[in-house]
Every structure is written in structure tokens, then in C-alpha cells.
Amino acid sequence: MNGTAGFYAPILASSGAYKFFINGQWKESTSEKTVSISNPTTLKTAFTVQACTQDEVNEMFVSAKAAQKSWARTPLWKRAEILKRAAGLMRQHAQPMADCMVREVAKAAKDSLTEVIRSADLIEYTAEEGVRVLGAGQLLNSDSFPGHGRNKMCLVSKVPLGVVLCIPPFNYPVNLAVSKLGPALMAGNAVVLKPPTQGAVSGLHMVQCFHEAGLPAGLLSVATGRGSEIGDFLTQHPGVNCISFTGGDTGLAISRKSGMIPLQMELGGKDVCIVCADADLSLAASAIVKGAFSYSGQRCTAVKLVMVVDSVADALVARVLPGVQRLVVGTPEDDSDITPVVTETSANFIEGLVKDAQEKGATFLTPWRREGNLIWPCLLDNVTPDMKLAWEEPFGPVLPIMRVASAQQAVGHCNASRLALQGCVFTQDINAAILISDAMETGSVQINAAPARGPDHFPFQGFRDSGIGTQGVTGSLLMMVKTKSTVINLPAESYTLG
């Protein structure tokens, strides 16, 4: 066996199940149990992964703690070299990783490959930015504070947190994994990765790239298995020094139980698109269709609610509807626009929201249609605040439209939501755009474009129940360190003279 197939051979057991990773080795679990991963398209088992035990999780934290001490003493440039090698290996061996995504999360083939390449770019950027950001210290002199002379100097350093628990979601199983573990490793931490069940195999392929890049043993471990069995054990483990989590309301429970450790949380959004009376409606319509239905709407930054001013509502709908009708429904292998949602549970939840809107009088501009996990794009008009779709995140190919009297009414609805990740506003008046953006109490606002995460070095954060902390490369690097002060006390005041 050679080439890419040989590169990934160590991660697969003779039984056909994928191994887990601990202390620099690929192993089968002593539980002798596996977890099945269903293909959302065929509803048949695509892969099986190890069901790790709590004892194996304990071993991960023991090895992580030991490896982290040595890693923290590794120069920044050497850490950067290893991350860059991992990025290079991901590009070189990208296709099998992308193929796994197609089968386990039903992401279109071209988008899956794009995610792998984007992730490699992110790792490389993290390595370069880490050398700059983490290498910059600070010197403070005491005489800048009233009442003090210049007899104390404070050296301010950035030091690692220890062991970071990284929990990415199914929808970007590689990109949102490396956006966590890349900064964590670059900052001198060890990582325990808990991949999503749907998306675990893509993540295991990614980890092999880090292993082959020369990452020291113990520094990165991967615990596969059901969250219901090892999830709480991981998040409440005494060896965890930081948690970086992307997902849904599970994150709220984690934050309540986690104790005195730093948290980086992104928990979804109800991203509102406000269309003003003076908007370029063709631009808005194109952005809405792409923003709402890319990856079947299974994105935290998807357009989840359009709020359009009454005077242009009919004209906007007339432009959005043809775009929705042109979307191709099918399989991810065929690069269809709309592919099956990730699980039957997700599909059932989406259907429940749509049926609620139907019962309360929403106008269906496209008919409701579902076959298994495959849901046809559904566009609803005349949605009202009493409908669940006005507030809840469907995470599927469903777009509700609400008609409002003014942009101010739309802002009021946006700010009343418990979710506040992103939003967008379409207007040709830049002054109005800034005023509306300032009034929207959300983490990010896009002007004349749909919500989006990225480029990956842009700050990315949510307010209220949408999150804690700032992501993006620099934000994540700074999240993964703590500040240490070393104060030099001089016997007398000393002033630098020219």
C-alpha cells in the first residue's frame, strides 16, 4: 500500500472500524465496542469508530499533561514548523478526508474538498500569526501610575493554559476542529479532541496529518464515542484547563458545569437579514438565496430570517423565489445545492417548525417536501412573531420572510432573540447601514452581504446565548494563553536618559 491510501492506513483497524488516537498511537478501545456513523443520504452505516472508555479518557489527560510541559518549552518557531508541516500534509492528502465528509455529513464533494484546503490555510496562518502575537511581550514602568517613581519594571508574558478540550460540530468537522486545536497547540497547550459523531472520521484523518508532521506524543489525543456516554466526563474532567466548543444548546449546559476555566463557545444563531426600502434588491435576493441555503442551511451563519420593509417586500420576494426554485436537490456526490440534513432527528425538528408555521397561517411560496433526511428548499412568506420559525434556528433548508413597517421594527425583533451571532443589512445608504449595525445587538453585522464566518482571521463572536469569547485566528490565540507578570524591584529610581 502506498501514496495517500498508505498514509491513512494506520488509522483503520483490521475489523474495519477506525481507531482512536492516544499518546502518539492509533488504538482500538478496550471497551471492544464501536459507534456507527450513518450516511445521511443512504441512511446506512458509513463508518464505525471506537467507543472510548472513561479510563482511556483519563489516560489521555495524563499523557497530555506530561507532554504539555515539554511543549511549552519548545520555541515558537519550532511549533510553527510542525503546524506548517501538518498543513502541507493535509493539502497533499486532502481527497480521502473530503470523501469522508461527503459520506458522513452529506456535504457536497466540491465544498468538502474546499473545507480541507481552507483548513490547511488556517493552520498555516495560525502558525505565522502565533509567532508574532505570542512572541510579543510587554514592559511596564511603575512611574506611569500616580504616586510612583521609576523603581519597578513589570515583564508581562503570555503562558499556556495547559490542556484544552476541543469540541467541534458536525457541519465543519475539519475546519472548526483546526480552528481550535491549531491556536491551542501554537500557544503551547496540549489538546484532547472530541469530534462530533457525524464527522469523526474526517477528523481522524486530519489528526493523522498532525501525527505524521512530527507532533510529540501525548500532545494531541482524540476521544471518539457518544457524547451521552463520555461527554460530561470530558467536559467536567479535572484535567481540563479550557474548553473550546462549537455547537448548540449543549454548550449552555457545559458552561454552567465547567467551573473556573476559560470558555470559548459558539452556540448558533438566528441570523436576521434586514432589507431596507432603498436596498439593491437583486443583490439582496442573490445573497439571501446563497446565504440561506448553502449546505442546506446547516450553518450557524446561514440567513435564518428575512425582515423586509413592506414597501419593497413584494419586489424582493419576486427576486428570491426564482433563485430558490433553481436550487438543485440531490446527493452530495453530485455537488447538489441541497443535500440531506445530517440526521433524522434534525429533519424531524425542521418539519415541526414548518408545520407550526403552516398551522399559524404562513404562506408557502414553495411546497413542503421531504423524503427521509432530504428536505426540499422551503420558502415561507408572511411569517409572524407568534410562529416558532420567527425565533428558533431550523438548521435546514427553510427560509422564513417577515414583513415589517421599518428597519427599526426589524432591529427590535433581532434584539429580542436569545440568539445573537450575526446579522446583515441591505441598504444603499452607508449612514443608515452604520446606524442599523450599531443598533443590532449581535456579534457581527454584514453590510450588503449575507452573514459569514471568515476570512478565518476576522474576529467571530456571539452575544447572549450565541456564545462566549472571540474566535478568529488572533482571538483564539489570545484565548489559549493567560497573562503572567514578573516584577523587577530596583533599589532606587532609575530613568533612561538619551
Three cell numbers, residue 465 = 446565548
Q: At 198, is the secondary structure helix, strand, or coil?
A: coil
CA atoms within 13 A on the CB side of 464: 16
> Given CA atoms 337, 394, 385, 274 in this order, what sign does their dihedral have?
negative
C-alpha distances out from residue 376 to 58, 106, 291, 308, Å: 44, 15, 16, 23
In angstroms, rounded to a whole number, what is the distance separating the alpha carbons of residues 417 and 39?
A: 34
Question: Is 100 assigned a catalytic role?
Answer: no
One-letter-per-residue 3-state SS of the chain: CCHHHHHCHHHECCCCCECEEECCEEECCCCCCEEEEECCCCCCEEEEEECCCHHHHHHHHHHHHHHHHHHHCCCHHHHHHHHHHHHHHHHHCHHHHHHHHHHHHCCCHHHHHHHHHHHHHHHHHHHHHHHHHHHCCEEEEHHHCCCCCCCEEEEEEEEECCEEEEECCCCCCCHHHHHHHHHHHHCCCEEEECCCCCCHHHHHHHHHHHHHCCCCCCCEEECCCCHHHHHHHHHCCCCCCEEEEECCCHHHHHHHHCCCCCEEEECCCCCEEEECCCCCHHHHHHHHHHHHHHHHHCCCCCCCEEEEEHHHHHHHHHHHHHHHHCCCECCHHHCCCECCCCCHHHHHHHHHHHHHHHHCCCEECCCCCEECCEECCEEEECCCCCCHHHCCCCCCCEEEEEEECCHHHHHHHHHHCCEECEEEEECCCHHHHHHHHHHCCCCEEEECCCCCCCCCCCCEECEECCEECEECHHHHHHHCEEEEEEEEECCCCCCCCC
In angstroms, rounded to a whole number, what is the distance separating the alpha carbons of residues 183 and 153?
A: 30
Catalytic choice (300, 378, 414, 424)? 300
What is the DSSP secondary structure assignment for residue 313, as one 8-state letter?
H
Question: Is 266 assigned a catalytic role?
Answer: yes
Q: Which residues of 3-31 are buried (b: 16+ CB within 10 A; e: fewer)?
A: eeeebbeebebeeebbbbbbbeebeebee
- Residue from 104, 254, 78, 92 nearest 173 by CA: 104
Catalytic choice (266, 276, 378, 414)? 266
Residues belonging to the active site: 266, 300
